[in-house]
Amino acid sequence: MSSLPVLHGRVLVVGDIMTDIVVRAEGPLVPGSDRRAEISLVEGGSAANQAAWLASLKVPVSLFARVGAGDLEDFRARLSAEGIEPLLAGDPERESGRLVTLIDLDGERSFLTDRGANLALDFADLPADWHDGTGLVVLSGYSFFEAGPRACVRKIIAAAREKQIPVVVDAASAGFIAECGPKAFLNWTEGVDLFVANQDETALLSERFDPEDQMLALHATYRSVIVKRDSKGSLFRRRGQRPVYASGVAVAAIDTTGAGDAFLAGFIAAWRQGEGIAECLAAGNRLGAEVVKRIGGRPEKTAKKTRTAKTEKAAKTGETGETQ
């Protein structure tokens, strides 16, 4: 792959691990009254989703995260069963993170987030030999939005740079970027090797409308940028080079949760295999399109437990929606 370094070794993913309560209502909410809904309990968290997808693609992967102390062994066992090396810390005071996902009839989702123990992510909990055999570090943007985890991931960026390990940052949330301020977020993430964001996040950070203009503006902060444009595909640009485009995949969207996480895993897996940029983007687009066909943001072996006949019917009759 000519525009990014050759990738070997395991991937270290850093960020949130959550339990998701996914709510798909039959129609608009009725203030002060009831609405029938399909409610599922699934494993989530952007970083944990990324790690799970990487493991499903046979990429060696570790996850560094923090959970409630009472859940520590359970999470370790579940991650290990998925092929993920769990580098987890237990918090004696905070509960594990939880998230409510509200899905509308088009498959778009809104979140209510209680990050819990994720807010206490601490560099001191990362094993001293974390860099041995590590070929890539992936940081979830959620870790930059609060002071505690932000201090941790910024130390990881500095340490990775010293060890010459490339770092990827996934923007994660336009809402939280707007809340903390685009300039602050750019400062916190400056200098990473690859920045990945959807079209809303790049528009907010670059103050540009056109995707190529967005990437040009973001090159002041990042060496390489990927813009995910849902079913319109994705774009990659390395500073000083021409952009590369891969077309998207239009699908019937049931739940867009985790599509961006799957995209990134697909891209990284293809990158690790030495594929060209266009092929890496296409691999990400395909995987991102797969996850929106059902409830939950994890690979099928995890998510299938929550599927119902109602979900299967919706997958056949739903309308085209987002893929990333």
pLDDT digits (tens, 9 = 90+) for 105-143: 877 778 898 999 999 999 999 999 999 999 999 999 999
Q: CB-based burial of residue 159 (10 Å sphere; 0-12 exposed, 13-18 middle, 19+ buried)?
A: middle
- d(CA 257, CA 45) in angstroms, rounded, equals 10
Residue 22 pLDDT grade (very low, low, confident, very high; cuts 50, 70, 90): confident
Pairing label, strands 85-91, 234-238: unpaired
Report pLDDT for 314. Answer: 41
Report pLDDT for 42. Answer: 86
Distances, alpha carbon 147 to alpha carbons 94, 144, 154, 222, in Å: 16, 7, 10, 22
- d(CA 27, CA 55) in angstroms, rounded, equals 36
pLDDT surpasses 70 at 306: no
Report pLDDT for 109. Answer: 75
- Please answer whether residues 76 and 92 qualify as being in contact, where contact means their C-beta atoms are separated by less than 8 angstroms: no
Average of per-residue pLDDT values in the chain: 89
Answer with the residue of higher pLDDT: 250 or 285. Answer: 285
Per residue, the 3-state secondary structure of the chain, as one string, reads CCCCCCCCCEEEEECCCEEEEEEEECCCCCCCCCCCEEEEEEEECHHHHHHHHHHHCCCCEEEEEEEEHHHHHHHHHHHHHCCCEEEEEEECCCCCEEEEEEECCCCCEEEEEECHHHHHCCHHHCCCCCCCCEEEEEEEHHHHCCHHHHHHHHHHHHHHHHCCCCEEEECCCHHHHHHHCHHHHHHHHCCCCEEEEEHHHHHHHHCCCCHHHHHHHHCCCCCEEEEECHHHCEEEEECCCCCEEECCCCEECCCCCCHHHHHHHHHHHHHHCCCCHHHHHHHHHHHHHHHCCCCCCCCHHHHHHHCCHHHHHHHHHCCEECCC
Report pLDDT for 5. Answer: 82
- Please answer whether residues 135 and 165 qualify as being in contact, where contact means their C-beta atoms are separated by less than 8 angstroms: yes
- For residue range 163-206, what is the model confidence (pLDDT) as tens digits? 999 999 999 889 899 999 999 999 999 989 999 999 999 999 99
- d(CA 226, CA 206) in angstroms, rounded, equals 13
Report pLDDT for 231. Answer: 82
Strand partners, 68: 91
Q: Tokens standing for 289?
A: 């399109």
Q: List the one residue out of 260, 229, 263, 262 whose CA is nearest residue 243.
A: 229
pLDDT surpasses 50 at 321: no
Report pLDDT for 312. Answer: 40
- For residue range 267-304, what is the model confidence (pLDDT) as tens digits? 999 999 999 999 999 999 999 998 888 877 788 764 44
Answer with the residue of higher pLDDT: 151 or 248. Answer: 151
Over residues 84-89, mean pLDDT: 98
Report pLDDT for 257. Answer: 76
Pairing label, strands 167-170, 134-140: parallel
Report pLDDT for 258. Answer: 84
Over residues 63-83, mean pLDDT: 96
Report pLDDT for 308. Answer: 33
Backbone angles phi, psi at 87, to 5 degrees: -105, 75
Domains of the chain and CATH, by start: 10-321 (3.40.1190.20)
- d(CA 20, CA 187) in angstroms, rounded, equals 30
Q: List the one residue out of 39, 60, 42 whose CA is nearest residue 51.
A: 60
pLDDT surpasses 70 at 97: yes
pLDDT surpasses 50 at 316: no
- Please answer whether residues 126 and 87 qualify as being in contact, where contact means their C-beta atoms are separated by less than 8 angstroms: yes
